[in-house]
Amino acid sequence: MPEDINAELETDELVPSAEPHAAHLPLDKAIETQADLSAEINALGDAYVRALKDGAPAETQPRLDYPPYRSSILRHPTKSLHHTDPETIELYSPAFGHQDVHALESDLTIQHNGEPQGERIIVAGRVLDGNGRPVAGQLVEIWQANASGRYIHKRDQHPAPIDPNFTGIGRCITGPDGSYRFTTIKPGAYPWKNHLNAWRPAHIHFSLFGTEFTQRIITQMYFPGDQLFPLDPIYQTIVDQDARDRLVANYDHNLTEPEWALGYNWDIVLTGPKRTWTENEAFGTAGDSSEEAGE
């Protein structure tokens, strides 16, 4: 084990000792192992499966309170979310268009002078609302580690190589059918400081807007068959297997381009909508003024 591990464990991925769940944490957090964490993850998962059998409703979103993800312990509200009907401004979304995002921003492999290292991939799919309606003309942002699992971020101290030809940021505006498409590099898994030998499964961060502010979501897309899924406290913040599966892209050979890139398909479903739609909005005029739409 590299001797700087303990020093790194002092950093902010550890929660202060005064946190409320301290009673069930080992005294010396630096020795928390994957086995310790997996035991917690499995206990919560088993309890959820039992509750389902007893008739509890399926959970579709991550738990805000999920102690195995240590950074969540002091950062989750303890009071239940207050139900309210969205009003006026919350029933609309900001408008984004081609003034905001250049078409080339959807290709993460052409942002520098040379080709980035790694496995070139295409990630494409559609953004839909809860009624199955395409979310047209809306902003999609992604960010990710490079092929060796390193982010271009000053706080990423993983001793894996930075790729001078890869930044790992992309944006696009969805098409009339809600479609998005990125060309990028398959990101690598990377270590983090939740516990000793914690590794994140390879993922791409996605940020999405709907037609209403209430639909705003940030999430992560994963790759099929990753052996790190059961070990990852962030992926497991979603305790329902079907819900977790919704974050895993499908390998799609029809998207794969010969001699060029492997294709992954991932559709995203937003909540709602809550607003009564007018005809115009239903046809997706949001996002661009008419003169821009012809580009």
> Residue 126: CB partners within 8 Å, gap ≥ 6?
134, 174, 177, 178, 179, 180, 267, 268
Judged by CB under 8 A, the residue of 36, 141, 226, 252 near another protein is 141
3-state secondary structure of 24: helix
Question: Closest distance between another protein and the C-beta of residue 131, in Å?
Answer: 4
Sign of CA dihedral 34, 60, 131, 101: negative
Which range, of 26-34, 108-116, 165-173, 176-184, touches another protein by CB under 8 A?
165-173
Q: Annotated catalytic, 180?
A: no
3-state secondary structure of 114: coil
Q: Annotated catalytic, 151?
A: yes
Candidates 275, 87, 268; CA nearest to 174 is 268
Judged by CB under 8 A, the residue of 18, 23, 28, 295 near another protein is 18
Candidates 183, 107, 184, 170; CA nearest to 139 is 170
Residue (12 or 259) nearer to another protein, CB: 12
Q: Annotated catalytic, 251?
A: no
Judged by CB under 8 A, the residue of 69, 182, 223, 264 near another protein is 69
Judged by CB under 8 A, the residue of 2, 57, 132, 225 near another protein is 132
DSSP secondary structure letter of residue 107: B
Per the residue annotation, which of 200, 222, 235, 264 is the catalytic one?
A: 200
Distance CA 259, CA 275 (A): 46
Which range, of 1-9, 28-36, 126-134, 252-260, touches another protein by CB under 8 A?
126-134
Question: Closest distance between another protein and the C-beta of residue 145, in Å?
Answer: 8
219 near another protein (CB under 8 A): yes
Residue (168 or 263) nearer to another protein, CB: 168
128 near another protein (CB under 8 A): yes
84 near another protein (CB under 8 A): yes
162: number of Cβ within 10 Å? 14
- C-beta of residue 206 within 8 angstroms of C-beta of residue 44: no
Judged by CB under 8 A, the residue of 217, 226, 251, 256 near another protein is 217
Q: Beta 203-208 vs 217-222: how paired, if at all?
A: antiparallel
H or E stretch at 113: none
Residues labelled catalytic: 151, 190, 200, 203, 205
